[in-house]
Amino acid sequence: MAIERDVFGMISDDDPETRRQAALALGEADGAGAVGPLLKAVGDPDWRVRKTAVESLLRIGGDEVVEGLYRLLSSDDNAGARNSAAEALTKLGAAASRFLCSKVGGPDADVRKFVVDIIGEIADKDSAPALITALEDEDVNVRASAVEYLGRLKVPEAVEPLIGLLRTEDQWLAFNAAAALGELGDKRAIAPLLEAAGDRCLREPAVEALGMLGDPEAWPVLLDALSDPVPVIREKAIKGLARIHMEASDKQGLVDAFRRKADRDAVDFIIGCLAQEETALKTAAAYILGAVREKSASEALANLLLYDDTQEAAGRALLEIARDGVEPMLFLLTNEEGIIRAATASILGEAGDHRVVNFLIPLLTDEEGHTRRAAARSLGRLGDRKAVEPLLGLLRDEYGDVQDEAVLALGNLAGPELVGRLKELAQDDDPSFRKNIAGLVGMVDGPGAYEVLAGLMKDEEAEVRKAAVEALARGDVEKALRGMLTVVTDEDPEVRLAAVNALAGLRTKEAAQPLMLLMGDVDPWVRAAAARGLAGTGSPEAASLLAPLLDNSYGPVRIAAVEALGETKSPEALPVIKAHIRDSDPEIRKASAAALVNFPEEDLLGELAGMLKDEDWSVRLAAVEAIGRLGAPGSREILEGVLASTDEDIVKKTAREFL
Amino acid sequence: MLFNDDLIELPDDIFLLLRDYIRNYCGMYFDDNSKYMLQRRLSRRVRLHQFKTFKDYYHFLTYDRRKDEELVEVIDSLTTNETYFFREDVQLKAFTDEIMPELAESKKGDRRLRIWSAGCSTGEEPYTLAMLLMEKGYTSRLDIEIIGSDINQKVLASARRGVYKRGSFRSTNEAYLSRHFKEEQGGSFKISDEVKKYVSFSYLNLFDRYKLSFLDSLDVIFCRNVIIYFDIESKKKLVDTFYSKLAPGGYLLLGHAESLMNISTAFELVHLKNDMVYQKPLRTHAALPAEKR
């Protein structure tokens, strides 16, 4: 679109809104001559005009824009123009970076500093040589920026120059170099950083960097730093110790060294860090206190259970402490916070000390559902039968997930002798209770269990019948099959779906017939599950029965049919699958790519490579996965091509994993 | 995971597909760090439908005739955000002491003043605005209409009930509590009908142009701590919507950690005594022919 002459006048109008509109219009037009006026507008006194001009220039792009913006970096008298130009160049990315790399040796120190900052922010790996050159700049600010950005860039060639800077007389530069070496993560820096940690001025960044490198060689130095008079150094040491211990193979050796070296003050300081603001510090402190099993930290750790960002770390630390003995933790079971009671119940169950059973049973009547659930789970793990009766009471809990947990716990605890009792309980008036009884009968099994379940499969409530179906599937195959045949015509689709899933799980030829019947069910999810199940029965008729399902109008049924056809590995299935790699539905294309993996003898790379041009990234990902799984000759070259050409991180990552 | 062993595995590709699905529907964007939150909040939905994998659940959301109802449940699971009365009091002071006098002055013949609380959650914000305007006497001078909207049906039901627990009053002056609420059994407080009459609630997806068409000529839009959940493109779209819904000279009030930096230059940043706020310029006439803008 050509630019109206008016617009060039408007960019100099007195009214900022008019100038802003002009800057907007210049960016939207593709006429020549827009760049000059827009560069002028980058220096406008109104921030809205400057921002609009920058956005318009970004839209236009190209060498003229990059060079023009670079010139604006020299606008000594207009900070707004300079900052806006720097912002725009950063947003232009690699194109600007390539140009600016040739300007690191420019005459003006302020401009060189801008250039290094912009290159650094863009973080194009190709800019490393320019940043290394800037380490020699005569201006200290330029050098300091180069150091910082080389750390972020993580290129190995920066390691030696940065190590060299540790010994420079300029403390500021050396400080930044130590920090950058931590970011870089190269083990060559360990020895120089250990030496730097002895220098009062470099101690803080060196301790932090050693922690980031995570090497056990730094353990004694970081233990020393726990007694440093400067709190921030102690905090950095804690983070480093946590990281080193996490990655170490000889963890016990590190713990022993900690116990020998760290005094009460050091331990108390770590406990104090649990109450600090910073999450990373709190989780590192929790980790270390758990690793050294510091009993006196229990209460402070328990407080961290209340927060999402620290709950897991605190829980793991408490679990470690509990492994040395549960006594320091029992008092937490009566804490006023339900979350702490629940978490402690989980931790004690995980620790596996049977002495806690008597403390956990009262929690089954706790006022909070989370606590009752956690107690039930732990009692199930601990396996003490004295919990059976209290747990049976929980089958009537107001919350479904608490009931489910009680069923699982009882299934772990009780044996076949309970079946007789459950038969009586199956007559209860409460359908939820009967549902739970069904689940439990399936778990304890034993003589008479089938009869109880057969009765519950005729229950008036669908949820009870469904639970009975699921329970039956866990037992004897023959009985399960017999039972399923009575419910495949149930009026409730949820029950039929449970029956289909149960039949599919049996993976026997005998299940094929009812599954074929259910492939014609009115509910699409039942049909889809039946199709998947049929493939697992090994029925020779499966492929011919599954193929027509692809004409179905419902996506999940078609997806299931493709997946199932693949699973049959039948020669009859292959052409059907191949015919659908260009289906209009991307989910079918993906399922087809995955299904082809079942035919490793066939030459399918051509078909799959064609799918790498699909418009949908998830289809391209499915093709990459299939190519990787097939591992056929030629796969490597294709995956290398994907790595070089794709923009999607997830596709690249998957290709890289297979390579 | 020590405390979350009932989570269903969420593969990266399905996370990305779910994320795009939600973004296309309502603009909410979940970055990679939010994957665990999504997994934790949606695993229950996956199990509820008897699915074993998130992939099957994604297919359910894509194909099933009940997908719209399920999407409501998904959004309800992901968007419950805690709020409270008189949140960000400095900004509220700017609203009552600086913005309102100017707007009231500008309302010469027309007494109607419309305020939109976009993303109002359980209603604390629109009710706060109503109480403030009552206390300052604006409700007797102007026809005040406050519209609270949210995409979460559960929080809207709660907003309509107007019953709150103590946690909602952490910044509330006791005088407001006694004048505008009635204590109920169990330590809850119910908002008075007098306040309620100025507030209406709407179930609105901020990206649903059709449903947004009834909102127009607004004087103030409060959209606080909402746009942080959107990606940059969705933010731009949303702020464009706000611009078009505001009357010239109308105000947009964002959360204290939010700004229009890199989102829009269409609004003017106004430095008030109590806060900085955004205003749609009074002069919004076309400086260029419409087709050039």
DSSP calls for A143-178: HHHHHHHHHHHT-GGGHHHHHHHHT-S-HHHHHHHH
- Residues A317 and A328: their CA atoms lie apart, in Å, by 13
- The answer to whether the complex's ipTM is over 0.85 is no
Q: What share of chain B is helix, strand, coil (3-state, %, to 5)?
A: 45, 20, 35
Q: Using the beta-carbon criterion (under 8 Å), do B265 and A48 form an inter-chain contact?
A: yes
Mean pLDDT, chain B, integer: 89
Q: Please tell me the distance from the alpha carbon of residue B226 to that of residue A401, in angstroms, as a whole number.
A: 32
SS3 A633: coil
Contacts with A22 from chain B: Cβ below 8 Å: 287-288
Contacts 24+ apart (CB under 8 A), A646-652: A646/A620, A648/A617, A648/A620, A648/A621, A650/A617, A650/A621, A650/B12, A650/B13, A650/B16, A651/A617, A651/A620, A651/A621, A651/A624
**Which range in A92-101, B25-34, B78-87 is most confidently predicted, on average pLDDT?**
A92-101
Q: What is the pLDDT of residues A289-336, one digit of tens each?
A: 999 999 999 999 999 998 878 999 999 999 999 999 999 899 999 998
Higher per-residue pLDDT: A77 or A582 = A582
- Give the range among A176-180, A526-530, B164-168 with minimum mean pLDDT: B164-168
How far off is chain B from A555, nearest CA to CA, in Å? 6
Chain A contact for B283 (CB, 8 A cutoff): yes
Element (H, E) at B112: strand B112-118
Return the SS3 of A574.
helix
Q: Strand, helix or coil at B253?
A: strand
Question: Shortest CA distance to A216 belongs to which of A190, A198, A238?
Answer: A190
Which residue in the set B12, B62, B284 is minimally distant from A650, CB to CB? B12
Closest residue in A to B282 (Cα–Cα): A17
Q: What is the pLDDT of residues A169-218, one digit of tens each?
A: 888 889 999 999 998 889 999 999 999 999 999 999 999 999 999 999 99
Q: Which residues of A touch B56 (CB under 8 A)?
A: 556
Query: Contact at 8 Å (CB) between A568 and A536?
Result: no
Nearest to A10 among B59, B63, B287 (CB): B287
Helices A171-184 and A203-213 pack at an angle, to 10 degrees, of: 10
Our CA-based measurement puts residue B62 at a distance from the nearest CA of chain A, in whole angstroms, of 9
CA distances from residue A478 to A471, A489, A507, A509, B240 in whole angstroms, order as listed: 14, 19, 12, 12, 65
Compare all CA atoms of chain A with the CA of B281 and give the residue at the minimum distance.
Answer: A17
Whole-angstrom CA distances from A392 to A156, A433, A449, A638 are: 63, 10, 17, 59
Which residues numbered 136-195 in B keep a CB inside 8 Å of some CB on A? none
* Tokens 């233990």 belong to residue: A223
Give the CA angle between residues A245, A249, A251 to the nearest 5°: 50
Question: Does the distance separating the beta carbons of B62 and A21 come in below 8 Å?
Answer: no
pLDDT digits 0-9 by tens, A366-385: 998 999 999 999 999 998 99
- Nearest CB to A350; choose among B2, B283, B284: B2
Type of residue at A533: G
CA of A404: which chain B residue's CA is closest?
A: B6
Q: Report the alpha-carbon distance of residue A553 to residue B67 in Å, rounded.
A: 16
Which residues of chain B make contact with A52, given a CB cutoff of 8 A? Answer: 265
Q: Write the Ramachandran bin of B182: left for phi over 0, alpha for psi from -120 to 50, otherwise beta.
A: beta
Residue found by looking up tokens 């930096």 in the block = B261
Q: How near does any CA of chain A get to the CA of B59, in Å?
A: 6
* Burial label, B80 (beta-carbon count in 10 A; 0-12, 13-18, 19+): middle
Map out the domains of chain A as residue ranges: 580-659
Compute the Cα dihedral for A577, A578, A581, A584 and give only its sign: negative
Q: Do A312 and B288 touch (CB under 8 A)?
A: no
Q: Nearest CB to B287: which of A18, A555, A587?
A: A18
B11 residue type, one letter: P
Q: How far is A159 from chain B (nearest CA, A)?
A: 30
Report the length, in residues, of chain A.
Answer: 659
Instruction: Find, in chain B, the residue whose alpha carbon is nearest to that of A528.
Output: B56
Residues of chain A with Cβ-Cβ distance to B50 below 8 Å are 494, 497-498, 501
B114–chain A nearest CA distance, Å: 26
Residue A283 in this model has a pLDDT that exceeds 80: yes
> Which residue in B71, B72, B6 sits closest to B39, CA to CA?
B6
Give the count of alpha carbons within 13 A of A562, CB side only: 28
Query: Average pLDDT, stretch A482-504?
Result: 87
Residue B293 has pLDDT above 90, yes or no: no
Mean pLDDT of B33-44: 88
Contact of B268 with chain A, judged by CB distance below 8 Å, is answered with yes
Beta strands in B43-98 (DSSP E): none
Task: Enumerate the β-bridge partners of residue B251.
Answer: B220, B279
- Burial state string for A107-145 with b = 16 or more CB within 10 A and e = fewer than 16: eeeebbbbbbbbbbbbebeebbebbbebbebeeeebbbb
Instruction: Give the N- to C-terminal CA distance of chain B in Å, as an integer.
Output: 54
Instruction: Provide the 3-class DSSP secondary structure of residue A473.
Output: coil
Least-confidence region, from A254-258, A511-515, B55-59: A511-515
Choose among A265, A300, A264: nearest CA to A285. Answer: A300
Poorest-confidence range of A36-45, B33-42, B174-183, B282-291?
B282-291
pTM of this structure: 0.72
Helix (H) / strand (E) containing A38: helix A35-41
Q: What is the 3-state secondary structure of A264-316?
A: HHHHHHHHHHCCCCCHHHHHHHHHHHHHCCCHHHHHHHHHHCCCHHHHHHHHH
> Cβ of B281 and A7 within 8 Å?
no
Rounded to a whole number of angstroms, the distance from the CA of A19 to the nearest CA of chain B is 9
Q: Is A32 on the interface with B (CB under 8 A)?
A: no
Q: Which of B2, B63, B265 sits opposite A315 (nearest CB)?
A: B2
**Contact of A611 with A590, CB cutoff 8 Å:** no
pLDDT surpassing 90 at residue B116: yes
Alpha carbon of B193: minimum distance to chain A alpha carbons (Å): 34
Query: A345 to chain B: nearest residue by CA?
Result: B3
Mean pLDDT over B69-76 rounds to 89
Residues comprising chain B, all counted: 293
Helix (H, G, I), strand (E, B) or coil at B250: strand
Q: Is B62's Cβ below 8 Å from some Cβ in A?
A: yes
| A54 closest CA partner among A30, A18, A79, A90 | A90
Rounded CA-CA distance A333/A322 in Å is 13
Q: What is the pLDDT of residue A299?
A: 94
B79 versus A570: which is more confidently predicted? A570
Mean pLDDT of B5-19: 91
The answer, yes or no, to whether residue A646 has pLDDT greater than 90, is: no
The pLDDT assigned to A15 comes to 86
A contact residues 484-503, partner B, Cβ 8 Å cutoff: 494, 497-498, 501
Asked whether residue A25 carries a pLDDT value surpassing 60, the answer given is yes
Rounded Cα distance between A233 and A200, Å, is 11
For residues A514 and B67, give the distance between their C-alpha atoms in angstroms, rounded to a whole number: 29
As a whole number of angstroms, the longest Cα–Cα distance in chain B is: 65
State the pLDDT at residue B85. Answer: 95
| Mutate: best of A21, A46, A301, A381, partner B, most B CBs <10 A | A21
Task: Give me the residues of A, 570-599, that contact B with CB < 8 A.
Answer: 587
**Which of A48, A323, A559 is most worth mutating to test chain B (most B CB atoms within 10 A of its CB)?**
A48
**How confident is the model over A111-145, as pLDDT tens digits?**
999 999 999 999 998 999 999 999 999 999 999 99
Selected for mutation to probe chain A from B47, B288, B293 (highest A CB count within 10 Å) is B288
How far apart (Å, rounded) are the C-alpha atoms in residues A281 and A243? 11
- What CA–CA distance (Å, rounded) separates A321 from A302? 12
Is the predicted pLDDT of residue A435 greater than 80, yes or no? yes
- What span, in angstroms and rounded, lies between the C-alpha atoms of A351 and A449? 33
Q: Are the C-beta atoms of A94 and A122 separated by less than 8 Å? A: yes
| Residue B288: pLDDT over 50 | no
Number of H helices, E strands in chain A: 43, 0
> For all residues of chain A together, what is the average pLDDT?
91
Q: Around Cβ B209, how many Cβ atoms within 10 Å?
A: 10
Looking at domain B89-279, does it have CATH number 3.40.50.150?
yes
Which chain B residue has the Cα nearest residue A8? B288
B39 contact residues in A (CB cutoff 8 A): none
Q: Fold for A580-659, please state it.
A: Leucine-rich Repeat Variant (1.25.10)
Residue-range domain boundaries for chain B: 12-78, 89-279
Q: Are A324 and A318 in contact (CB under 8 A)?
A: no
| Mean pLDDT of the region B130-144 | 95
pLDDT at A407 over 90: yes
- Helix, strand, or coil (residue B169): helix
A280 to chain B, any CB pair closer than 8 A? The answer is no
Q: How confident is the model at residue B278 (pLDDT cuts 50, 70, 90)?
A: very high
